[in-house]
Amino acid sequence: MDRFILVLTTVPEEKRAQEIARALVGERLAACVTVSSACQSLYWWEDRVTEDREYVLSIKTKASLYARLEKKLKELHPYEVPEIIALPIQKGSRAYLDWLKKETAI
């Protein structure tokens, strides 16, 4: 049985978020990428607390595609150290997971 993951990343501009989402779905590295509305992120960077407006990308894919997806994200990502976190999808509707599998069949 296939394993599925949810990959999260953040970017500073909505346009860049859309570009990354289109590339990942277009190359079938992801079945779906959800781009959030703008949110506020606070984090440590270069020895100080930084506050930025960002967009979260929720990327649904197969675990077997993670290495290729990470490589593509790093190519497209504007950050020096991008957040790229993969979480296992423990359970989900059979119909949705079947669809996810079908749309990432590369």
DSSP code of residue 37: P
Mean pLDDT of successive 10-residue stretches along the chain, which has 106 residues: 92 98 98 97 96 97 97 96 97 95 89
Query: With 0-12 CB in 10 A as exposed, 13-18 as middle and 19+ as buried, what is 23?
Result: middle
Q: pTM of the predicted model, to two decimals?
A: 0.95
Task: Read off φ and ψ for residue 5, nearest 5 degrees.
Answer: -135, 160
Domains and CATH numbers, the chain: 4-103 (3.30.70.120)
Helical ranges in 8-85 per DSSP H: 14-26, 66-76
